[in-house]
Amino acid sequence: MSKLYLVPTPIGNLEDITLRAIRVLKEVDLILAEDTRTSGKLLKHLEIATPMQSHHMHNEHKTVDSIVKKIAAGLCVALISDAGTPAISDPGFLLTRSCVQNNIDVECLPGATAFVPALVNSGLPNDKFVFEGFLPVKKGRQTRLKLLAEETRTMIFYESPHKLLKTLSNFYEYFGEERQVSVSRELTKMFEETKRGSVKEVLSYYTEKPAKGEIVIIVDGKK
């Protein structure tokens, strides 16, 4: 039976993939990969020889229709990103929506995603939270920050290392220097680190010690 599988892959530690994910990646007819070179290393490690096709943010608008037709014709296809769960700040939404609209079965496997361990490990309230992903780079950034300054739920952001200081400085300006934050980087990897404290404290820390690796920022909501 044809189907689209959304398959999480490790965000760092290669042991963080489920037995079910490995089985699905071996059994499907085709794997859609964000970067076939990156995913190729993982598949080789897992001894998976399933054919791959590139599917990323720069070509997904052009290829989604042809992929849906392949699945509708009988193929079983798995979608993976470079790391983590597809469609969480990665390609996946457009294809999933198109499959749903065409009555194609879609199944998402549970597995690795960066924001869950960062949230749980932060020590900040996690009974209610909002996932913001990456803030707008330029247009709309100030407007978004003004709105989020009033958000009472715990907030989750993704950020690159070279923009971390700018983002923390924005939090200092819009949320206040005492707002509590937790910055997790290199999750599941050898040099994993979580720094907790006020915006002022964490900004000072990373000003003196520039961050490396992928970053998740957890910010306490307004009290």
The 10s digit of each residue's pLDDT in 80-93 is 999 999 999 889 99
Amino acid at 185: R
DSSP lists the bridge partners of residue 182 as 196, 218
Decide: helix, strand or coil at residue 191: coil
What are the residue ranges spanned by the domains of the chain? 3-108, 115-219
Amino acid at 72: A
What confidence score (pLDDT) does residue 74 get?
Answer: 96
Q: Is the four-CA dihedral 195, 199, 204, 206 of positive or negative sign?
A: positive
Output the pTM of the full model: 0.92
Check: CB of residue 163 under 8 Å from CB of residue 190: no
What confidence score (pLDDT) does residue 136 get?
Answer: 95
Architecture of domain 115-219: 2-Layer Sandwich (3.30)
Residue 56 has pLDDT above 80, yes or no: yes
One fold for 3-108 and 115-219: no
Residue 1 has pLDDT above 80, yes or no: no
| DSSP class of 14 | T
Residues 156-183: what's their mean pLDDT?
98
What confidence score (pLDDT) does residue 219 get?
Answer: 98
List the beta strands (DSSP E) in 7-153: 30-33, 52-54, 76-80, 106-108, 129-133
The CATH H-level (homologous superfamily) assignment of domain 3-108 is Tetrapyrrole methylase, N-terminal domain (3.40.1010.10)
Number of C-beta neighbours around residue 91 at 10 A: 24
Residue 28 has pLDDT above 80, yes or no: yes
Name the percent of the chain lying above pLDDT 70: 100
Band of pLDDT at residue 59, cut at 50, 70 and 90: confident
Half-sphere CA count of 123, side-chain side, radius 13 A: 10
What confidence score (pLDDT) does residue 58 get?
Answer: 85
What confidence score (pLDDT) does residue 138 get?
Answer: 87
Band of pLDDT at residue 60, cut at 50, 70 and 90: confident
Residues 31-46: what's their mean pLDDT?
96
According to DSSP, the β-strands at 180-185 and 193-198 are antiparallel
